[in-house]
Chains A and B, each alone.
Chain A
Amino acid sequence: MVDSVHSTTSPAVGDSAGIARRRLLEAVAAAPVIAATASVAAATHDDAELLAAWRGFQQAHREFEAACALLPNGGTDEDHAPFKRRLDALQARIEAIPALEMAGVALKLRMLFADHVETDAAFRTAIFNEPMSAQLADEMDFGDHVFWQLIENVEALAAGAVA
């Protein structure tokens, strides 16, 4: 149980549990790098590297959320640090890899949309492809709606759904 890991009956036990917890979190945060890299080699899409980095970014966020849900009070800044380092590195990779096809452009637009609207709901819609809530749709201005419509159009182009 997570609670037993975090119980600190004495300073010495607390320190060692804290170190063990940190090592575990760092290992979890580092693991998807290997998976993302392996999937690049197998892929044949022109934007394969970018798509793999995107999947890695999504996976890293899910793991970060899962870790926060398990940790008391969502964890400390120190607990979050390895996840944030990994997310920053993956975001930098996504930004650095040029998009060669519509699919890659769509992913970059999704990242820009999440950064632009700057709400948790927008982030979940853009990054995890969750349905847009009515509240988010209400809060978005005309430019935001056009931005989202453009992403959907580019994704339709990527899927070959239109000319």
Chain B
Amino acid sequence: MTADAAILDAFAAWQAARQAAKAIHRPDDLSDAHDRLCHGAWVAESEAGERLARLTATTPNGAALQLRWLHTRLGEGTLPFEAESLLGRLAGTLATA
């Protein structure tokens, strides 16, 4: 079993959930049913992200994947641009370490 295999799996699941949530969204569909569908998809994305975040990284690559999730979560309006940009670069540094 590869080190941090659980993190690789959780990261892939989170990315898939995120892409699904983005793909589902139809800006011209204002129905309640679509709203519920989108909400459910983003809840699934959030839960997948939290599963990834709760794991403990034991390799730089695992830490980098968790940092990517953190970058996405914290970067959405709560971090200054410089910090967000630096987080992204650090994820890259960790991934190549």
Task: Report A's interface with B, CB cutoff 8 A.
Answer: 95, 98-102, 105, 108-109, 112, 115-116, 142-143, 146-147, 149-150, 153-154, 157, 162-163
The 7 listed contacts between A and B (C-beta, < 8 Å) are: A108-B90, A109-B90, A112-B83, A115-B79, A143-B73, A146-B69, A163-B59
Q: Given A99-B90, A99-B93, A163-B3, A147–B56 Cβ distance below 8 Å?
A: no
**Do B57 and A116 touch across chains, with their CB atoms under 8 A apart?**
no
Using CB atoms, name the residue of chain A closest to B50. Answer: A142
B80 at the interface (CB under 8 A from A): yes
**Do A147 and B63 touch across chains, with their CB atoms under 8 A apart?**
no
B53 at the interface (CB under 8 A from A): yes
Could you tell me the distance between the alpha carbons of A137 and B25 in the complex, rounded to whole angstroms? 36
**Do B56 and A116 touch across chains, with their CB atoms under 8 A apart?**
no
Extra A-B contacts (7), CB below 8 Å, given A100-B93, A115-B83: A108-B90, A116-B78, A142-B50, A146-B54, A150-B63, A150-B70, A157-B58
Q: How many residues of B contact A (CB 8 A)?
A: 27
Smallest CB-CB A-B distances: 9 pairs: A146-B53, A162-B58, A153-B57, A163-B3, A163-B58, A143-B73, A112-B83, A154-B63, A105-B90
User: CB-CB < 8 A to A112: which residues of B?
Assistant: 79, 83, 86-87
Using CB atoms, name the residue of chain A closest to B69. Answer: A146
Using CB atoms, name the residue of chain B closest to A152. Answer: B56
User: CB-CB < 8 A to B54: which residues of A?
Assistant: 146
List residues of B (30-47) whose CB comes within 8 Å of A's CBs: none
Could you tell me the distance between the alpha carbons of A116 and B82 in the complex, rounded to whole angstroms? 11
Using CB atoms, name the residue of chain A closest to B57. Answer: A153
Shortest CB–CB separation between residue A89 and chain B, in angstroms?
A: 16
Could you tell me the distance between the alpha carbons of A157 and B58 in the complex, rounded to whole angstroms? 7
B20 at the interface (CB under 8 A from A): no
Could you tell me the distance between the alpha carbons of A157 and B64 in the complex, rounded to whole angstroms? 12
Could you tell me the distance between the alpha carbons of A147 and B75 in the complex, rounded to whole angstroms? 12
**Do A146 and B78 touch across chains, with their CB atoms under 8 A apart?**
no
Q: Given A108-B90, A116-B83, A149–B56 Cβ distance below 8 Å?
A: yes
Using CB atoms, name the residue of chain A closest to B66. Answer: A150
Could you tell me the distance between the alpha carbons of A108 and B67 in the complex, rounded to whole angstroms? 13
**Do A146 and B59 touch across chains, with their CB atoms under 8 A apart?**
no
**Do A154 and B74 touch across chains, with their CB atoms under 8 A apart?**
no
Shortest CB–CB separation between residue B55 and chain A, in angstroms?
A: 10
